[in-house]
A and B are shown apart, each in its own frame.
Chain A
């Protein structure tokens, strides 16, 4: 894992002190709310429906046990005993007081964390594959570059007042677990014909009210040019992105309106002027950062562990959990464990301080001190020995963290929705809770198999509904909550935006509607077909027929 050196440590301390000063000036009346708002947002502090909300960055989703313990103690000491993990691999606290926030940031700095640029019209926290450094299909660990980008983007003097927020995601593997085609910039680590490692550069993807699949503007960018190329893209966007209309200000609209080819030419022209300059990344610098992400010293183990295999046959619940929550690791005898934060009837992504401490303890003892946060709002223990899986599972299960549903129908993404968010039109979390209760039979969930339901409480699409196999969008109809359903979306390497099925459903009816869609899928699916395969084959008609005929 990356560790701060003296410069990083000083930077974060200075930033906290600066924010403390800004809070003091706000409370003393030297700053108006209009002036203060962008300053607090650049430190991740919102004013939400009930209270302030603080969004803390978990850079590229990687945490140590010590950091997780700190997140737990902050939840307990400054909030209401829990935190909410988000689709951008961050954690949000829903109830901090403004006057406490500088102290919270000081505590975070103690463990090399911060809330810098988790909001505002700037370059946001860079996200990455949550299996980075552990995945069997990885070309290179994307966190090396995510960290380089984190530093370059921190308080960037030119790019702190962009037309709109700017999100970068990076993946090191061909199986895209970071949704790189749905970010302002997506970076996919590629190997060229000469065997060199670089990046495919994708721009202009995004969700929100105008979902767009990003366009590749460069098939292969050599590593040393990473920052100059990013700076060129940002410079073009900062000058030409629309500032007259909030809803047309993201880079995706600029790329659409100028045309991808022209946009690419603008970027390439700018890049020609600044490449091979001060932003060039020398091999030594990449190696310096890379050293921090050196894999832990894995033990040499047999890929086949009889005790583990025996346990699977002995215990059906364990076997089920292994099937859905355990993924292949690159080192023999190890596995990646995904901890579901979606137990039946609970708020997706929420974890109590006690649960965070359980995870921290397991990570320290049994996962090389590492934890990951996924964009699907779960946690990961990336390096667990097969022989330790039973102990990990038992401990998780005893603490409400053992639900065997990763990738299944109840493993939903849901934004905070109208229960917390100032922008929302409808609630998301209780819809997710009711769906998980409807599908409480785990055996049935495993029979249904891979199915991604994603729920947003408004058109801003924080719940990624556009890319759910089944997407649910909350809308307001004359003060009442209604839910529009889309089918066929996908956030992975087969990126697709879901299509609206028909008229929206009321809060009371939406769960029945989802069940009807799932039942139709089960009736129609062919051998080995996933939801989107069946949908692509049969189209929307059979789903509509069943759904709207009944009504």
Chain B
């Protein structure tokens, strides 16, 4: 029997080389989109996910991983804190420059 944790959690980090915000997915990859993340209420599963993150740190893929709480609304994941909402969506103050790694457009 696995222990139930009433809070829904995901694991997030930044990519080591680029710095972009990423989330651990079901397939063990790291995605720039929060809604692709693997979410769990299970404490043991969360621990396994954090262990996966530590491996990704050791493999120099990501840096500074941590768990964070989300809520599920009609099947869509939403961060709980203002901080994580801003982290997922970009600064609230500069619509012209908003975006994550998938929208990054760098000069050639």
**B63, CB-defined interface residue at 8 Å:** yes
Which residues 83-108 of B have a CB within 8 angstroms of A? 83, 86-87, 90-94, 97, 99-100, 104, 106-107
Does A347 lie within 8 Å of B86, measured CB to CB? no
Q: With an 8 A cutoff between CB atoms, is A479 at the interface?
A: yes
Nearest to B80 among chain A residues (CB) is A479
Tell me whether A51 and B20 are in contact in the complex, defined as CB-CB below 8 angstroms, given that A76-B107, A347-B93 are known contacts: yes
Does A257 make an interface contact (CB < 8 A)?
A: no
A2: CB under 8 A from chain B?
no
- B90 x A50 contact (CB < 8 A): yes
Q: Which chain B positions have C-beta within 8 A of A420?
A: 91
Q: Assess whether B14 is in contact with A51, with CB atoms less than 8 Å apart.
A: yes
Q: Does B48 interact with chain A (Cβ within 8 Å)?
A: no
**Which residues from chain B contact A426 at a C-beta distance below 8 Å?**
82
Contacts of B91 in A (CB 8 A): 50, 419-420, 429
A33 touches B57 (CB 8 A): yes
Nearest chain B CB to A547 CB, angstrom units: 25
Residues of A near B16 (CB, < 8 A) are 26-27, 98
Beta-carbon contact of A479 and B81 below 8 Å: yes
B17, B20, B83, B87, most chain A CB atoms within 10 A: B83
Which chain A residues border B104 with CB–CB below 8 Å? Answer: 95
Q: B108 — nearest CB in chain A belongs to which residue?
A: A77
A204 to B65, CA, bound (A): 37
Q: B107 to chain A: which residues have CB within 8 Å?
A: 76-77
Verify A418–B86 contact, CB threshold 8 A.
Answer: yes
Chain B residues, Cβ within 8 Å of A80: 97, 99
Q: Residue on A with the closest CB to B85?
A: A418
A82 at interface by CB-CB < 8 Å:
yes
Tell me whether chain A's interface is mostly helix, strand or loop, or mixed: mixed
Chain A neighbourhood of B4, CB < 8 A: none
Please state if B63 and A47 are interface contacts (CB–CB under 8 Å).
yes
Question: Hey, what's the 0/1 contact readout for B10-26 against A, CB within 8 Å counting as 1?
Answer: 00001011111100000
How many angstroms from the CA of A244 to the CA of B1 in the assembled complex?
A: 43
In the complex, chain A residues 43-98 whose Cβ is within 8 Å of any chain B Cβ:
47, 49-52, 76-78, 80-82, 95-98
Q: Write the chain B residue with the least CB distance to A431.
A: B93
Do residues B20 and A29 form an inter-chain contact, with CB atoms below 8 A?
no
C-alpha gap A433/B91 in the complex (Å) = 13
A427 at interface by CB-CB < 8 Å: yes
Q: How many residues of chain B get a CB closer than 8 Å to chain A's CBs?
A: 29
Residues of A within 8 A of B106 (CB): 77-78
Inter-chain contacts of A33 with B (CB < 8 A)? 57, 63-64
**Partner of B18 from A28, A98, A481 at Cβ < 8 Å:** A98
Contacts of A480 in B (CB 8 A): 82
Residue of B nearest to A432 (CB): B93
Asked if B7 lies at the interface with its beta carbon under 8 angstroms from chain A, I say no
A262 within 8 Å of B (CB atoms): no
The complex places the Cα of A28 from the Cα of B82 at a distance, in Å, of: 35
Give the residues in chain B near A98, CB-CB below 8 Å.
Answer: 16-19
- Check A97–B19 contact: CB distance below 8 A: yes
Does any Cβ of B come within 8 Å of A258's Cβ?
Answer: no
Contact at B82–A479, with CB atoms within 8 Å? yes
Q: Which residue of A lies closest to B90 (CB)?
A: A50
Residues of B close to A418: CB separation below 8 A: 82-83, 86
- Check A99 for interface membership: any CB of B closer than 8 A: yes
Q: Within the complex, what minimum Cβ distance (angstroms) separates A415 from chain B?
A: 12
Which residues of chain A from 399 to 436 have any CB-CB distance to chain B below 8 Å in the complex? 418-420, 424, 426-427, 429-430, 433
- Whether the pair A81, B97 counts as a contact (CB closer than 8 A) is yes
- Assess whether A481 is in contact with B82, with CB atoms less than 8 Å apart: yes
The answer for the CA separation of A78 and B57 in the assembled complex, in Å, is 25
By the criterion CB–CB under 8 Å, are A97 and B82 in contact?
Answer: no
Residues of B near A28 (CB, < 8 A) are 60
Least CB distance, B87 to chain A, in whole angstroms? 5
Partner pick for B92 among A97, A419, A479, CB 8 A cutoff: A419
B19 partner residues in chain A, CB cutoff 8 A: 47, 50-52, 95-98
- Cβ of B63: which chain A residues have Cβ within 8 Å of it? 33, 47
Q: Chain A residues near B81 (CB, 8 Å)? A: 479
**What are some 9 contacts across the A-B interface (CB < 8 A)?**
A27-B17, A28-B60, A29-B60, A51-B20, A76-B107, A98-B16, A347-B93, A427-B82, A429-B91
Q: A50-B90, A480-B82 are in contact. List 9 more A-B contacts (CB 8 A).
A: A27-B60, A49-B87, A50-B19, A50-B21, A97-B17, A99-B18, A350-B94, A427-B82, A427-B93
- The 10 nearest A-B residue pairs measured at CB: A52-B19, A419-B91, A51-B19, A429-B93, A97-B18, A80-B97, A99-B17, A77-B107, A419-B93, A347-B93
